[in-house]
Homo-oligomer: A and B are copies of this chain.
């Protein structure tokens, strides 16, 4: 009996992906070789890379203005790579501070240009998405974190500004459709809603490159990876392959429009259960509640450890909240099935009835 995995990331992947991935470790595509020992220049892996890039384009409706790259280093590396590549040292960029990861992005950006924090929800421990005032026309770009894994907030409407967006979508990419026209760069660590740890997805507008004057190391220049089909050096073969399996699964169930419906139903049911309980409450402002990371707390904090123990014993694991928020967090990415939601709701209801 497999536990229901509510960890924030690395996180659950679609069920069929695990079996297909294990099979490929033993015999990839009938080659008799493991996916772990095939050359990244082989026709088999080239096909994996091309299909992965194409599926990202198809699923998110990405036109030829933008390129899809599979890099490494996580979102943490994109915090500086974005600015290094497109922000001149005399240019201004706007950042919205919605929590830990935004704060880190701001810190790294400051090495490369003039960074202004134009909105922040720090005053209420990041439990809402702050409003942007003005159209931001004076900035090279505005940076947002579309979903805040730790605090459980999410943009339900992406701002329309007079400058392009650069967005960290690590924890909600592929959870809903997006309008690529708004973005110069989208980046996402795979290990939440796409694949295993070890690969970073970058989608970027091609004509924004080559316009800053600084020296950029070859590996940190997006153009290097565009020119070489995301295989300038050895890419992380297995993490990309597992991401491909997960993208194929998403396509097979109807793509991002369909998963958005499913995600809304899952999050809706869980928040409703929390709202209906006596003991539990969700601290995030209603209209900014994340459909990926459901943060909730218990009114009687003495029962916190009891509930964690009870949920774990009931095969719902990974719901301890991040230390900067406390309480609980259920991460319910694309691969979490309604089955798991129902189980967690039962656990919440049972505990509420017993102690509420």
Contact = CB atoms under 8 A, between A and B. Distances in A.
A268 interface: no
Given A2-B32, A80-B219, A198-B239, A37 B10 contact: yes
A10 B80 contact: no
Contact of A37 (B5, B42, B74, B198): B5
Given A22-B22, A26-B18, A217-B111, A39 B198 contact: no
Nearest to A237: B197
Interface stretch (A55-63, A201-209, A228-236, A341-349): A228-236
A210 interface: no
A215 B214 CA distance: 14
A255 interface: no
Contacts of A18: 25-26, 34, 36
B21 A219 contact: no
A196 B238 contact: yes
A17 B26 CA distance: 10
Interface in A161-191: 189, 191
A104 to B, nearest CB: 8
Contact of A7 (B3, B38, B235, B236): B38
Interface residues of A, number: 63
A199 interface: yes
Contacts of A352: none
Contact of A237 (B10, B19, B72, B220): B10
Contacts of A219: 73-74, 76-77, 79-80, 108
Q: Give how many copies assemble into the complex.
A: 2
Contacts of A191: 234, 237
Interface in A45-79: 72-77, 79
Contacts of A99: none
Most central of A5, A12, A75, A238 by chain B CB within 10 Å: A238
A278 interface: no
A115 interface: no
A199 B72 CA distance: 9
Contacts of A279: none
Given A198-B198, A218-B108, A234 B36 contact: no
A93 interface: no
A215 B13 CA distance: 38
Interface in A216-251: 217-220, 232-239, 242
A80 B13 CA distance: 35
A33 interface: yes
Nearest to A220: B80
Given A18-B26, A26-B18, A34-B13, A8 B238 contact: no
Interface of A: 1-3, 5, 7-13, 17-19, 21-23, 25-26, 32-34, 36-40, 42, 72-77, 79-80, 84, 104, 107-108, 111, 189, 191, 195-199, 215, 217-220, 232-239, 242, 318
The 7 closest A-B pairs by CB, nearest first: A198-B236, A72-B72, A80-B217, A22-B25, A76-B233, A36-B196, A197-B237
Given A5-B37, A17-B36, 20 more contacts: A11-B37, A22-B22, A72-B72, A72-B74, A76-B218, A76-B219, A80-B217, A80-B218, A104-B218, A107-B218, A108-B219, A189-B234, A197-B235, A197-B236, A197-B237, A197-B238, A198-B198, A198-B199, A198-B236, A198-B238
